[in-house]
Each structure stands twice: as C-alpha cells, then as structure tokens.
Structure 1
Amino acid sequence: MKRVLSLLVFVLVLNGCDDGNLIQEDINFETANMQNCSTNNIIYKLKEKEALLVEIPETSFTTEPSLSKTPTIIEINTTNRVVYRFYASNVSSDNICETIPPATPIVTDQWNATDGKIEIFTTAIKTTNTTDNSTKITGYKHNIVFKNITFAKNNGTQVYETFPFGEYEKSITPLPFLFDKTVEKCSTSNQIYNYTSSEALMLTIDPNLIVNEVTPLNSPRTGIIGTTTNVLTYRLFTGGVLTGDYFCNTTTPITPTMSQEWNGVTGVTGTSGIVEVTTTTNGPGSFKHTIVLKKVTLKKGNNDFLLGDNFIYGDLLTTN
C-alpha cells in the first residue's frame, strides 16, 4: 500500500512541474502550397483544419536579390504577425482573405507568435531563350524561414529554433525591350541611342568603331563594354512619353520619370561584353554601321540579366 501511495505522489509531482513548455505539438505544412491574399498583406498555408498565417508589409518582399548569408530580417511583433490557427472543419482561402470572416468554419484554437525573427532570402526567377541564350527576369522567389520563433499556447509556449515556412513567388512584367533597329547619334558627343516611348538603350561608343570605311568580310571592328568608353545604359520610364528631345542634353531631363536604370557590366576581351561594328555602304557617300552586342550583361544592384550571344543593337547611318 505504501508503494502504491508513493507512486501516486510521484506522478502528481511530475504533473505539477509541467509548466506547458514540455508539451511539443508538431506543426507541419511542408506539403502545403503557399498562397496570398490580394486584399491584404497575408500569406498563408492551409492543411485541412489548420492554417499558418503570416502578415507582414508587402515591401518586405524586395526586388533586390539577397547577397550570400544576408537575408532580409523582420522582427516578429504585434504588427509583423505569425499565427497558427485551428478550425472545427476544413478551411479554404475564402475563410482567410475576407474582410469580414465567414461564420464557418469556427476557429477552435489559435497560437500567436510572440517572439522571433522572419528571415527572407530573395532570388531572381529568370527564363532563358535557348535560341540566343538571353535571359529575362520574370519574378522573384522569397524563401521564408522563422528563427527562434515562440508560439504562445493555452498550455504554455512552443519554440522552434529554425522553422522553414516555404517559398513565396511573385511574378513581374519583364522589361519590354521593344526597340526597332534604327540607332541615332548625338552631334556633339559619342552617345548613340535607340528608344521607344517608354525605354532607352544608350551607348557612349568608342569613336574608333564608327568610321566611314567598309569593314572587310568577317572582320568587324570590336571593343568591349567599359566604364568610360562603350558605356552601355538601359533606362525604363514612367509618367510621360519619351521622345528624341530627351537625349544629347548637357543636363539629363527630369521628365519623363525614370523608374529603372541598368548598366552594362565591364567586358572581357574575346569573352564577354563585346561591341561589334560592321560597316557597309548605303549609297553614294553614305554608310551603314550595324552594331551588335555580344554576351553583354546588364546589372542593377544585385540583379543582372544577359542580352544574349548576339543582340542586334541596330543600324547607325552616317555620311561623309
């Protein structure tokens, strides 16, 4: 009898020492798809009667790829929220994104994250044209991981040192690059340019490449993209229509508004960033200079893309 009583007392003592932190319940959304609400800043995963919700500003998902080991870090608090929710029956996206939540299914329990960090590692999504090896950025992939996240539960807390939430992808409209092949040149400088109503591709070209002499067959004049000569710049504009008046000015006009600027990466002779000019006659005393950019990369911040093996910049017409 004494032994039985002692065992009962021992069990009661163990139960009395449980502060809630010892009970670990598995959170597993590895196979669930990432979704987002169009009307608010919630991204989420659903699994039958469970939902894992993250509410952070849209600006958290940058279009600047992360450098190695330098993700975007967001502190979890009452504004940047992570919530694990349980429902009485199966849940769908309609139950998450409505301004006024539906009456069903009923929420039966909810864990709120009270501490920790959200780490977001961003990479560009690129598509490759297999014909010319050019690439386009079509979106960004954001890998989201919770670090040292603490969930407050009814019976205590639950902590995860590292909790992978998943990858959130956002599509973008690729740069248009709708240039025709007619190139113009400033009369007072070595700048040549091609443009549409919303974009410009400018090249401060080495004057030795534009000579009114026919080049031998298969022997074009060549140079490489640099920082002082053969400087290549792409600009995308918003809030106005780009015209030829924008170019050849001492001071860059403030309109239309420039939204993006990409710069050519310095080339390597015989390998990349090559400017190639082939000159032919275009009538008496007239010449056509066909300019091709070979294996040229354009870069903005940590972003870059390839113009391809042979990007035809266009034809520049000159006369003696």
Structure 2
Amino acid sequence: MRKFFFLMLSVATIVSCSDGDLSIETIDFDSIAIDYCTAPSRTTANLLFKINEDQVLILELQSGVLNNGVVGETVITESAVPGRSQVTYRIFNDDVDDGYFCDNIPPADPVVTDEVVAEDGSVIITTIVNPDDSTQFLHTIQLSGISFITGSDERITNLTISEFGEVTTAIP
C-alpha cells in the first residue's frame, strides 16, 4: 500500500507542475519580399520592412550602415541591435499594406495590437558590385542572433528571419 501511495503522489506531482505558460512563437519572414518607401541610401537612415498579412518585421538602419563598398571586393559590415540598427516585430488587428509606412498621414486602421523590439543581435550586410548592374552596389542583409522578449518577459526563441533581403544603392 505504501508503494502505491508514493507512486500516486509522484504521478500527482508530475501532472500538477506548470511550465510557466511558456509559449513559443515563430517569426518567419524569409519568404517575404523586402519593401521600403524611399530607395535605400548610404547617406541617410533607412526604414526597410517585410509585411506578412497582419504581421510586420521592421528594420531601421542608421545613416552609414549601408556602406560604399569597394569595386571588385566583398565588404562585410556588422551593425549591433539595438544600436546602429533596430529590429521591431508588430502584429496588427487586420492586414496591413505599405501605405501604413509610406503615406504622409498613416491610416488609422489597422491598429497595432502588439509590438516587440529586439533586445539583442546583429545585422550583417555583405556588399558587392551588383552582377546585374555595374552602376550599383548590392547589399545582402542578414539578421543574426536576434532576440525578442515580450512584455510578459517571454523570449521568442524560434526565429526564422536570418535572410532579411537585398537592396541596391548607386555607386558614387
């Protein structure tokens, strides 16, 4: 009887344990095309974004993060998040389009229902001469080690956002 009691007590203890309501979210924007309102520039700040229906991944690059590159060479630039770059994940109450970012007066709808700003990571930009247009630099943007922590202190751990996309700038 004593063995049965301890067995039942052990089972009850295991079943009643809580994992703290841990939820793992996936942020997947790799297959979504990069968008922007004004053509990317090496001399001004850049706002780049990816829209996936009611979710948006926003990348803000300070002036100079997209470097000049060197004709005939591959140049790799790393930018800290937060720091010279910022990554933000937003969820809206309805599908959103680029007018939300590009219109002089943003639309009132859809409304942001949740926003999480990256607290760690880096943006890695590889710059080469564009193989399709020798008057431009091609900047391949990758995200590395991006870490989001929600308002309820939960870390979003399953991130599929390593390939942010490619942009071009004119060779001076």
| Fold match by TM threshold 0.5 | yes
TM-score by length of 2: 0.76
Alignment of 1:90-239 (within 5 A): 90-98=95-103, 100-127=105-132, 137-155=134-152, 156-159=154-157, 163-172=161-170
Per-residue CA deviations over 1:42-65 (Å, capped at 9, x if unaligned) read: 101111111000001242112314
Shift of 1:139: 1.8
RMSD value, Cα: 3.1
1:57 and 2:62 are equivalent in the alignment: yes
Per-residue CA deviations over 1:123-156 (Å, capped at 9, x if unaligned) read: 11144xxxxxxxx613222111111111111341
User: Is contact 1:147–1:162 with CA below 8 Å preserved after alignment?
Assistant: no
Per-residue CA deviations over 1:265-319 (Å, capped at 9, x if unaligned) read: xxxxxxxxxxxxxxxxxxxxxxxxxxxxxxxxxxxxxxxxxxxxxxxxxxxxxxx
Alignment of 1:244-259 (within 5 A): none
Structure 2 CA distance, aligned partners of 1:162 and 1:47?
13
Largest Rg, 1 or 2:
1
Structure 2 alignment gaps of length 5 or more: 40-44
- Sequence identity, in percent? 24
Name the residue aligned to 1:183: none
Structure 2 CA distance, aligned partners of 1:162 and 1:31?
10
Q: More relative contact order in 1 or in 2 (CA 8 Å, sep 6+)?
A: 2
Shift of 1:170: 1.9
Q: Counterpart amino acid of 1:103?
A: A
Q: Counterpart amino acid of 2:141?
A: I
Name the residue aligned to 1:225: none
TM-score by length of 1: 0.43
**Equivalent residue for 2:92, pick from 75, 87, 94:** 87
User: Is contact 2:130–2:138 with CA below 8 Å preserved after alignment?
Assistant: yes
Which SS does the other structure have where 1:144 is aligned?
A: strand
Q: CA 1:92–1:166 in structure 2 vs 1: closer, same or farther (change >3 Å)?
A: same
1:75 and 2:72 are equivalent in the alignment: no
Per-residue CA deviations over 1:7-43 (Å, capped at 9, x if unaligned) read: 4542332324x6x4xx332111122111112296210
Q: Counterpart amino acid of 1:145?
A: Q
1:36 and 2:36 are equivalent in the alignment: yes
Name the residue aligned to 2:42: none
Q: CA 1:169–1:78 in structure 2 vs 1: closer, same or farther (change >3 Å)?
A: closer
Q: CA 1:160–1:75 in structure 2 vs 1: closer, same or farther (change >3 Å)?
A: farther
Name the residue aligned to 2:19: 15
User: Is contact 1:148–1:160 with CA below 8 Å preserved after alignment?
Assistant: no
Q: CA 1:104–1:59 in structure 2 vs 1: closer, same or farther (change >3 Å)?
A: same
Structure 2 CA distance, aligned partners of 1:56 and 1:88?
26
Q: Counterpart amino acid of 1:149?
A: I
